Amino acid sequence: GSGLGGVSSNAGTVLKYLTETKQLTLHESEMFAKQLGADVPFFLNPVPSWVTGIGEIRTPICFRPEIKSQLCFLLVLFPFPTSTPSLFQKYRDLSLPFSPPLKLDLTETWNFGSMVQFLKSTQNDLESLVASHSDPIHKALKSLRSSSPLYAGLSGTGSTCFAVFSSEKERADAAKELQAFCRDLNCRCVFAETY
């Protein structure tokens, strides 16, 4: 898929609906969610969370309200999927280690500074492997990073690349740079309250 949890969110939303309408118990929905996929359980209660394990351990994160207006996101969606199982297998075949989990203080409400600090300390272990097998992903990441975002990376195993900026102007400038190799570019900022 694209690495944005689309199929998982659909499955989680259906299970959430079945629970809310008393067709399944919460326990039954949680059991089905784990069987359907690692990130499906998140969508039973989709609030900003720090997710560990294979997706089953979730710790909610509280953000200061103004953080939503201080961060601008740019997504680069490709018309091709990547295969999560095959990429994890390639990673294992190369005997590459996974990074240790980040130590985060999840008891405090995050502000802009704590979000920036988090972004600067994070990485996606699978990103270099995926980029080495996909020239479009490699080019997109290089272009995004050249625009000095707070963070740029690959969502999961891809194929979506993204960048986080502290202003709409920076985001718009980065989008213009992508036009050099993106045939069709349609970017806009989307605001949504989902929790």
Crossing angle (nearest 10°) for helices 26-36 and 6-20: 160
The domain spanning residue 150 has which CATH number? 3.30.70.890
pLDDT digits (tens, 9 = 90+) for 120-151: 888 899 999 999 999 999 999 999 999 999 99
Are 146 and 128 members of one domain?
Answer: yes
The domain spanning residue 25 has which CATH number? 3.30.230.10
How far is Cα 163 from Cα 74, in angstroms, rounded to an integer? 5
Asked whether the predicted pLDDT for residue 188 surpasses 90, the reply is: no
Whether a cis peptide bond, with omega within 30° of 0, leads into 159 is: yes
Query: Beta strand 161-165 with 72-76: parallel, antiparallel or unpaired?
Result: antiparallel
**Token pair recorded at residue 172:** 């718009």
**Overall average pLDDT of the 80-92 stretch:** 89
> 61 and 52 in contact (C-beta within 8 Å)?
no
Per 3-state DSSP, what percentage of the chain is helix, strand, and coil (rounded to 5)? 45, 10, 45
Please count the structural domains in the chain.
2
Examine residue 193 and state whether it is found in any structural domain, yes or no.
Answer: no
Domain that holds residue 55: 1-60
Q: What is the pTM of this model?
A: 0.81
Are 56 and 70 members of one domain?
Answer: no
